[in-house]
Amino acid sequence: MSKKIVVSGGLGFIGSHVVVELQNEGYEVIIIDNLSNSSKEVLKGITEITGIEPVFEEFDLRDKIYVSDFFKKHSAIEGVIHFAASKAVGESVQLPLLYYENNLASLIYLLQELEQLPTANFIFSSSCTVYGQADELPITEAAPTKTAESPYGNTKQIGEEIIRDTAKVSKKLNAIALRYFNPIGAHESSKIGELPIGTPQNLVPFITQTGIGIREQLSVFGDDYPTQDGTCIRDYIHVVDLAKAHVAALKRLIEKNNSESYEVFNIGTGKGSSVLEVIHAFEEVSGQKLNYKIVDRREGDITAAYADTTKANQVLGWKSQYTLKDALLSAWNWEKKIRS
């Protein structure tokens, strides 16, 4: 019998790609999503790719009674992968209480329900923002977490602390926090991808929207950083690679191969690319010349962040497969498809 996995925020950018990989591996998936930053259309894309329509429950995880009712209704759940959270750094500065409520209350209510299950396997969607500007590059899991630059980043740090403290005393909870670097790209079928509502918060959707003519110009925030070309460096990982890391982490917990009740893994490519390198790589794969201009630095931006992925490679047996150009081409194909 296939194992039941709950994916909260499963119609979002990363969540939807994880649902596809889980279904491809034979898991039975139940999606929870309140559609605040996603679309029911994504369900159609997932179904077309995998040939299986996952169970979908539309509600808000901040509603404790709904969360409790959900777990009464669905039994024999083997694991929960938790994505549902607000994730725009700039917005979190403007709306801190919304971010603390949405990102922490939902996590607490889920963990309270997991405590009632016979076994509880939990994967948390964390972020490299917990490291801030690391003292050394590449960043290992042993790097200290820094004071968060935003309420969003702080919710990831506090979220990890809540899970760690719960796992320490729980007889049932086994958890893995995956600290992502910068997910980009789309499924090769172009049936699911990144769908930012309003102005994109991330570089690549801004690039593809500029490439296709929706945005007149792309702003590059600063060219005076101490890097090779003066622009910020990040570790851009293909979303499908990232999705496969979730499956590897889940398998580790289900098969009881974890060495501690709470573990942390960096998920990236191990390679840093500057903003200008990403722009030029996009121009190469798309054949589109981008209209971009250098503007002032943006508050809160760090100079460089890229992962040391040794732990994930060796312990999870996972490694990124796709290149930056692969990811950018898939993002471009997705952009063209949704605008056609």
Query: Domain containing 95 — which CATH number?
Result: 3.40.50.720
The pLDDT, as a whole number, for residue 2 is 84
pLDDT single digits (tens) 243-261: 999 999 999 999 999 999 9
**Could you tell me if 10 and 33 are in contact, meaning their C-beta atoms sit under 8 angstroms apart?**
yes
Answer yes or no: is 324 within a domain: no
Among the residue ranges 10-14, 119-123, 199-203, 325-329, the one predicted with the least confidence is 199-203
Q: For residue 9, is pLDDT > 80?
A: yes
Q: What percent of the chain has pLDDT over 90?
A: 90
Answer yes or no: is 172 within a domain: yes
Answer yes or no: is 156 within a domain: yes
Q: What percent of the chain has pLDDT over 70?
A: 100
Answer yes or no: is 295 within a domain: no
180 assigned to active site:
no
Average pLDDT over every residue of 136-148: 95
Q: For residue 94, is pLDDT > 80?
A: yes
Structural domain count, the chain: 1
Average pLDDT, the chain: 96
Of residues 91 and 21, which shows the higher confidence score? Answer: 21
Answer yes or no: is 303 within a domain: no
DSSP character at residue 228 = S
Q: Residue 36 belongs to what domain range? A: 4-184+236-268
Answer yes or no: is 306 within a domain: no
Q: For residue 196, is pLDDT > 90?
A: no
Own/partner pairs, 152-156, CB within 8 angstroms, 24+ separation: 152/86, 152/87, 152/88, 152/89, 152/91, 152/92, 152/99, 152/103, 153/89, 153/92, 153/127, 153/129, 155/85, 155/92, 155/99, 155/100, 155/103, 155/104, 156/103, 156/126, 156/127, 156/129, 156/130
Answer yes or no: is 212 within a domain: no
Q: Which candidate in 27, 152, 306, 322 is catalytic? A: 152
The pLDDT, as a whole number, for residue 199 is 85
Cβ-proximal residues to 214 (8 Å cutoff; 6+ apart), any chain: 339
* pLDDT classification of 178: cutoffs 50, 70, 90: very high
Answer yes or no: is 221 within a domain: no
Model-level pTM greater than 0.85? yes
